[in-house]
Structure 1
Amino acid sequence: MKTKTWDRIGNGGLTFTELGFGTAPLGNLYRPVSDADAQATLDAAWDAGVRYYDTAPLYGLGLSEARLNPFLRGKKREDYVLSTKAGRLLEVCPPDQRTGIGKFFDTPSRREVYDYSYDGVMRSLEASFERLGVDSVDILFAHDLDIFTHGSKQASDARIEEFMRSGYYAMLALRDQGVVKAFGAGVNEWEVCQTLAERGDFDLFLLAGRYTLLEQEALQSFLPLCQKRGIGIVLGGPYNSGILATGPKPGAYYNYSEAPRDILERVARIEAVCRRHGVALIEAALQFPALHPSVVSLIPGGQRPEEVKSNRAILDAAIPQDLWRDLKAEGLMREDAPTG
């Protein structure tokens, strides 16, 4: 598998495999996954050459991190890159009060408590160490400082202020002390990433679903800023939560909800161009974001070994340059989108 070496501040940096693994689905996202199936999926990722794994306390309310524990045990620490997140603490609660009812299934009875303070970041990382069973993580992301999570720009801005006044300095200290190699934020909106990049010394952003075959607005200002400053992008949600994998079929998902008509129509037009070139929509969707020089890894995730194997095979599919040119010519892709 292709790799990309990233070293923004000269501390040795990190080597990412082009395909990483996002472990939110192994937190029983949308359906229960057995321990055996979770381990089989992680083993399939390793066998496919994946060496970057991303997790978070939120995913399955600790379950995702706990499932990485036996998988990583026995592997040499220098053989993989590991990221987790901070911004939520988990506290024990009655089962009917747990976070994520209807979203995460068969999880521990825990509820999230947002805490972007210095102490909150440190406590979160300490708890992650215990669940993961490791002595270090490579990347720590501030999790979900966005409108999607907090409900309004005002609420998002308040969380950003809380983090920049306090938790940011915890992450800075962890990097400066060598506890982590890099820090950043994992969010659903590029505008929030840009705000953070303009205010602090961030290394990496995990951007979910906002630079895809369907959406390239991040090219307006955010991605050029990343290139200028050497900031790396881990690209989550390359299928826009489903529609770029399934195609524009009835009930297709976009942004975790049923896709509206205009999105269905646009994806249908993109798929038609792909079909003319003998390329599956899902192949173009996964390969396109990786063509941007700031993108260090793609993390589509998966709940079954077959999904991991499929994503690996998709990266090997041949994509003719004429496909990208035709998408631009038909106004379905920004003219300034890098295409190799």
Structure 2
Amino acid sequence: MWETRPIGRTTLRVTAFGLGTATMGGSRFKVTQQEGQGIVAAAWDAGVRYFDTAPFYGVGAAEHRVGDALRDHDRDAWVLSTKVGRLLRPKTDTAPSPDGRLSPLPFKVVYDYSYDGIMRSVEDSYQRLGLARIDILYVHDIGAYQHGPEANAHHLKVLRDSGYKALDELKRGGTVSAIGIGVNEKEVLIDALGFADWDVFLLAGRYTLLEQGPLDDLIPLCRQRGTSLVIGGPLNSGILAGRDTWNYDTAPPGIVERVRRIEAVCQAHDVPLAAAALRFPLAHPVVAAVIPGPRNVAEFQENVKLFTMKIPAALWSDLRAEGLLHPDAPVPG
């Protein structure tokens, strides 16, 4: 069984190695229902007990697959997180998604961060999951990165004045055990700490072997407030696993060069770059879990192999000596 770590000041504990299901939903390339459930089953068999999903992943498909794969397991033996902020509505036209995503299920997205929207989202997730309990509820993709500054100012006000009341009510009533925000940017998390208490943030791609900017601001705040971090996208959209994508797009030259330098140090110690990337975030005590999102069972199994590799201390020392780690970044023991 994997090491477990606490979520904020709650009684929840998650396996430090979890499963992200964004890719498994089939929005970026075709993943069948059987293949998706197979990934979840492989994770369970490997001892993973933290599973993260969302209505947006496969416009409902990921929640169906997670629920179907895990429904018969002891519900007290594992932790589930899903998200709010998007409602799914029937898609009656055949127009492709404007961002090029596939639509495994016939739905379109409507953003709603209000009290009523969040309550409706939770009820809809119960139905898709076919489960009676959600442990962690994240507000999904709020922030200027997703909406632009002007639109996000409106969404953030709605969350602050209305939606957070729903989250607080759900937690105080025992419907969920922890509340948080799941995004790709640190700035909105810093803003959110200014108006509410949060148990955990799911931060994708911003605290990794490649990027450690949150050490300057967000992470010290999380330590002060008792807020955990779950790290999504620990491979930075694939560039730390040998692909050319970073932040869901083609990596710019500066990023490519920095990765090349990190990889050279890893190669000198005969350690795959992805192995170092999967282990690095967990060295920080604020981080509760890393949740890579594999595309298939073989990729999940490869991630397990990489995650469990022994990494010599000299690798981290050499990365620091080359100026490739933040001065305050803790490294694995």
Gaps of 5+ in 2: none
Contact residue 27 and residue 104 of structure 1 kept, 8 A: no
Contact residue 182 and residue 201 of structure 2 kept, 8 A: yes
Alignment match of 1:220 (pick from 216, 223, 229):
216
Alignment match of 2:88 (pick from 82, 87, 90):
90
Following the alignment from structure 2 to structure 1, what is the Cα–Cα distance between the partners of residues 236 and 99?
22
Following the alignment from structure 1 to structure 2, what is the Cα–Cα distance between the partners of residues 277 and 8?
35
Amino acid at match of 2:257: E
Amino acid at match of 2:280: F
Following the alignment from structure 1 to structure 2, what is the Cα–Cα distance between the partners of residues 59 and 204?
20
Following the alignment from structure 1 to structure 2, what is the Cα–Cα distance between the partners of residues 75 and 241?
31
Residues 96-111 of structure 1 mapped to structure 2, 5 A cutoff: 96-97=94-95, 99=97, 102-105=100-103, 107-111=104-108
Contact residue 7 and residue 199 of structure 2 kept, 8 A: no
Alignment match of 1:64 (pick from 39, 62, 82):
62
Does the alignment pair 1:194 with 2:186? no
Residues 152-163 of structure 1 mapped to structure 2, 5 A cutoff: 152-163=148-159
Partner deviation per Cα, 1:146-196 (whole Å, 9 max, x = no partner): 22211x223222211111110111000100111100001001101111111
Alignment match of 1:270 (pick from 251, 254, 262):
262
Could you tell which deviates more after superposition, 24-33 or 48-57?
24-33
Over the aligned positions, Cα root-mean-square deviation in angstroms equals: 1.4
**Which residue of structure 2 aligns with residue 210 of structure 1?**
206
**Which residue of structure 2 aligns with residue 143 of structure 1?**
140
Partner deviation per Cα, 1:111-161 (whole Å, 9 max, x = no partner): 1111000000000000000000111100000010122211x2232222111
| CA positional deviation for 1:35 | 1.7
| CA positional deviation for 1:300 | 0.5
Following the alignment from structure 1 to structure 2, what is the Cα–Cα distance between the partners of residues 210 and 266?
15
**Which residue of structure 1 aligns with residue 119 of structure 2?**
122
| CA positional deviation for 1:75 | 0.9
Alignment match of 1:286 (pick from 255, 275, 278):
278
Amino acid at match of 1:215: E
Give TM-score, length-normalised by structure 2: 0.96
Residues 33-72 of structure 1 mapped to structure 2, 5 A cutoff: 33-72=31-70
**Which residue of structure 2 aligns with residue 4 of structure 1?**
4
Contact residue 98 and residue 111 of structure 1 kept, 8 A: no
Could you tell which deviates more after superposition, 67-76 or 135-144?
67-76
Partner deviation per Cα, 1:176-221 (whole Å, 9 max, x = no partner): 1111000010011011111112221100000010000110000001
Does the alignment pair 1:300 with 2:297? no
Secondary structure of the residue that 1:96 maps to in structure 2? coil
Runs of 4+ in 1 over 6 A off after TM superposition: none
Secondary structure of the residue that 2:23 maps to in structure 1? helix
Does the alignment pair 1:309 with 2:301? yes
Alignment match of 1:336 (pick from 319, 328, 331):
328
Amino acid at match of 1:84: T
| CA positional deviation for 1:5 | 3.4
Secondary structure of the residue that 2:265 maps to in structure 1? helix
Following the alignment from structure 1 to structure 2, what is the Cα–Cα distance between the partners of residues 101 and 64?
19
Amino acid at match of 1:240: N
Could you tell which deviates more after superposition, 44-53 or 30-39?
30-39
| Residue identity (%) | 46
